[in-house]
Amino acid sequence: MKRILVCTALLVLSLTGIAQSSVTTVEHQKVTREAIMNDIPFSENVIAEAIKDTLQKLGYKGKDSKGFTVYRDVKLPALGNDAYDLYFSVDKKSKKEKEVSRVTMMVSKGADNFITEKTDPGLVHNAKTFLNHLHHTVASYHHSQKLAEQEEVVSKIEKKIITLGEEADDLQKKKKKLEKEIEDNSKEQADQQKELEKQRQVLSTLKGING
């Protein structure tokens, strides 16, 4: 457990040196659009689940659309005062960097009204800051998942120990019962042996009379 906490703490500290978000272009529905991207040192699945968890806690549910997961009418103070449609895609950065993923985010003010650095520089700046902070969001989510998994491991072992203890008690009772049965059996054998000798004497006496 301590090892998990230390590793996660070191990872969070290392995030400060990671590249900042930047503007890029992507193809969406056969149209080239501006987007914000950043590379985050976690697997695609962890990042996607972290984004999903974060927005679900705020009451938003994503829907897959043309390679993106779309969250509609999202109100985030970190972006601005309006409601926005957020488009996320998470892909492996490269074959060599399997644990680094590229997160791409497009922001729309509704329908096809996607923002650009030229038309809305303030919102693009806020979106960059949001993606920069996503590093810490993912690290926190990853840590909480690892913590939950470790707690589950510990809980299962604790339950197993309790079960084994109960089984040991039952076995001790069975052992005592068996030992008593063995003792009674030995005593019964001894009694029967005495009875056998006694009856043999009777038999021998009867044979002597007949003779």
CATH code at position 134: 3.30.310
pLDDT of residue 15: 45
Average of per-residue pLDDT across 7-28? 66
With respect to residue 116, please indicate whether it lies within any of the assigned structural domains.
yes
pLDDT at 204 over 50: yes
Helix (H, G, I), strand (E, B), or coil: what is residue 79?
Answer: coil
Which two tokens mark 21?
Answer: 């978000």
In a domain, 189, yes or no: no
| Helices 2-14 + 121-210 axis angle, to 10 | 170
**pLDDT of 13 higher than 60:** no
Confidence of residue 123 (pLDDT cuts 50, 70, 90): very high
209 in any annotated domain:
no
For residue 203, is pLDDT > 70? yes
Residue 155 lies in a domain: no
> What's the pLDDT band for 29 if we cut at 50, 70, 90?
confident
Residue 115 falls inside a structural domain: yes
> How many domains does the chain divide into?
1
Residue 193 placed within a domain: no
More confident residue, 119 or 111: 119
Q: What value does the mean pLDDT take over residues 42-65?
A: 94
Cβ–Cβ under 8 Å, residues 36 and 21? yes
The whole-angstrom separation of Cα 80 and Cα 72 is: 15
Range of the domain at 106: 2-147
What percent of the chain has a predicted confidence (pLDDT) above 90? 77
| Beta strand spans in 10-121 (E) | 22-28, 31-40, 63-65, 68-75, 83-92, 101-108
pLDDT in tens, 159-190: 999 999 999 999 999 999 999 999 999 999 99
Residue 162 in any domain: the answer is: no
**In angstroms, rounded to a whole number, what is the distance separating the alpha carbons of residues 169 and 146?**
35
Does residue 194 form part of some domain? no
